[in-house]
Amino acid sequence: MENPRDIFIAHLRRKGLFLTRERRLILEAIFSLRKHFDFDELYDTVKKRVGRVSRATIYRTIPLLIDSGLIRDVFRGTSGTQYEQVRGLEHHDHLLCVSCGSYIEFKDERIERAQQEVCKKHGFVSVDHKLGIRGYCRKCALIKRVKA
Amino acid sequence: MENPRDIFIAHLRRKGLFLTRERRLILEAIFSLRKHFDFDELYDTVKKRVGRVSRATIYRTIPLLIDSGLIRDVFRGTSGTQYEQVRGLEHHDHLLCVSCGSYIEFKDERIERAQQEVCKKHGFVSVDHKLGIRGYCRKCALIKRVKA
DNA sequence: ATTGAGATTGAGACTAAGTATCTATTAGAG
DNA sequence: CTCTAATAGATACTTAGTCTCAATCTCAAT
Ligand SMILES: [Zn+2]
Ligand SMILES: [Zn+2]
Ligand SMILES: [Zn+2]
Ligand SMILES: [Zn+2]
């Protein structure tokens, strides 16, 4: 039951929903994409494979996939939400280069643990969290320094 | 020179811009608002005080205030960006209740320090960061438990 | 105080992400 | 196979935020 398709079906069942052709194709399309993707990439991929799909269907399916734990939304930039495949991957946070748009993933146990403590101290029940550090990646930082 | 108005003027000067009546009024309006606010609250407040202001002017002024370090944008929810006054306050991060919309501010030095180390390890030059933990505040967590 | 170049405003057109609505179609239980 | 609820597609709609441009304002230089 670690198969994404089975996970998805199980989640749909639980909510009394069907695994339709479209939902299956959207799920498959996601796994043909790079790990981080946005709406348009998903939309274009599905369209290329099926010929026709409604934007609304994609928008309706995304929350189902999020609730299934198969993807998550990572950032919300100026041009729409960025998603990423979860694929059994561990939770992680991001370094985001504001210059070239690249990102680095990281996970720091000290940060994760400290967050739990913060929540505990405030009687707060955490559901999820996002830590995004914006700045300049090694390459862009170098370029910037050369220019300056 | 710690006066917000002076900080703002200095920033404008540096960029060859004027402190216009509108910009001054927007700045003043912000200080009459609670610490966290969104576009509409700012817009309505300015309008109430001056009678007329263009949405575009507010939108044009916000980045100037951000660049001046007087406000910062905190989240981007479903309904627009949330800003907060900085007012010489220390940087902090947020616990966000998904049930009642309240937030708790916190700062954890261990987290801040660990972030610096992560950046260093990746040759990443950090500009800023946002850590948002979503979940249920004490009160809402209790209500949820009672219901369940 | 006047003036002129450049900055700024207001109004509204525009863009684009995401949602809502409606009708025809489909999934799947019985 | 049949029936019903769920669904997809098409498209209208909503809304945060940007862009445009003519009219107006700012302020430094006279
Ligand atoms: Zn984390
Ligand atoms: Zn990632
Ligand atoms: Zn922080
Ligand atoms: Zn805050």
Among A18-22, A33-37, B26-30, whose mean pLDDT is lowest? A33-37
Cα B42–Cα B43–Cα B46 angle in degrees, nearest 5? 85
Structural domain containing residue A28: 1-88
Asked if strand C contacts B25 at the CB level, meaning under 7 A, the answer is: no
A112 and A82: one domain? no
B51 vs B116, higher pLDDT: B116
B129 and B145: one domain? yes
Contact B105, B85 (CB under 8 A): no
Q: pLDDT, tens digit, for every residue of A119-128?
A: 999 999 999 9
B29 and B47: one domain? yes
Q: Which residues touch strand D (CB under 7 A)?
A: A 12, 16-18, 20, 22-23, 50, 52-57, 60-61, 78; B 18-21, 39-40, 55-56, 59, 76, 79-81
A83 and A94: one domain? no
Return the percent helix, strand and coil in chain A, to nearest 5.
45, 25, 30
Q: How far is CA B17 from CA B10, B12, B13, B14, B29, in A?
A: 10, 5, 6, 8, 20
Q: Quick one: pLDDT band at residue B147, thresholds 50, 70, 90?
A: low
Last residue of a domain, one of B73, B88, B103: B88
* CATH number of domain containing A67: 1.10.10.10
pLDDT value of position A146 = 72
A83 vs A2, higher pLDDT: A83
As residues whose CB is below 5 A from the ion ligand 3, the structure lists B 93
Instruction: Tell me the mean pLDDT in the region A14-37.
Output: 94
Q: Quick one: pLDDT band at residue A102, thresholds 50, 70, 90?
A: confident
Share of chain B above pLDDT 70, in %: 96
B37 and B94: one domain? no
Give the torsion through C-alpha atoms of B29, B32, B35, B40, to 10 deg: -50
Sequence-distant (≥ 6) Cβ neighbours of residue B49 within 8 angstroms? B25, B28, B29
Q: Which nucleotide is nearest to B22 (CA to C1')?
A: C9
A84 and A121: one domain? no
For chain B, the straight-line distance linking the first and the last C-alpha, in angstroms and rounded, comes to 55
Last residue of a domain, one of B65, B88, B111: B88
pLDDT value of position A44 = 95
Q: pLDDT, tens digit, for every residue of B92-128?
A: 999 998 888 888 999 999 999 999 999 999 999 999 9
Last residue of a domain, one of B55, B70, B88: B88
pLDDT value of position A148 = 64
A26 and A69: one domain? yes
Tokens of B1: 């020179």
A33 and A82: one domain? yes
Q: Quick one: pLDDT band at residue A147, thresholds 50, 70, 90?
A: low
pLDDT value of position B1 = 58
Strands A125-136 and A93-97: parallel
Q: How many CB atoms lie within 10 A of CB B96?
A: 21
pLDDT value of position B90 = 81
Q: Which residues partner with A36 through β-bridges?
A: A84
Rounded Cα–Cα distance for residues B88 and B4 (Å): 9
Q: Is the pLDDT of residue B37 over 90?
A: yes
Q: pLDDT, tens digit, for every residue of A50-84?
A: 888 999 999 999 999 999 999 999 988 777 899 99
Q: pLDDT, tens digit, for every residue of B77-86?
A: 777 899 999 9
| Count of structural domains within chain A | 2
Q: In A, which residues are within 8 Å of B117 by CB distance?
A: 108
B49 and B118: one domain? no
B128 and B106: one domain? yes
Q: Is the pLDDT of residue B148 over 70?
A: no
pTM of the model: 0.85
B69 and B115: one domain? no
Contact B130, A74 (CB under 8 A): no
Q: Can you tell me which residue has its alpha carbon closest to the C1' of nucleotide D19?
A: B56
Q: Is the pLDDT of residue A1 over 70?
A: no
pLDDT value of position A27 = 96
Give the torsion through C-alpha atoms of A29, A30, A35, A41, to 10 deg: 70
For chain A, the straight-line distance linking the first and the last C-alpha, in angstroms and rounded, comes to 54
A101 vs A21, higher pLDDT: A21
A145 vs A8, higher pLDDT: A8
A35 and A8: one domain? yes
pLDDT value of position A116 = 97
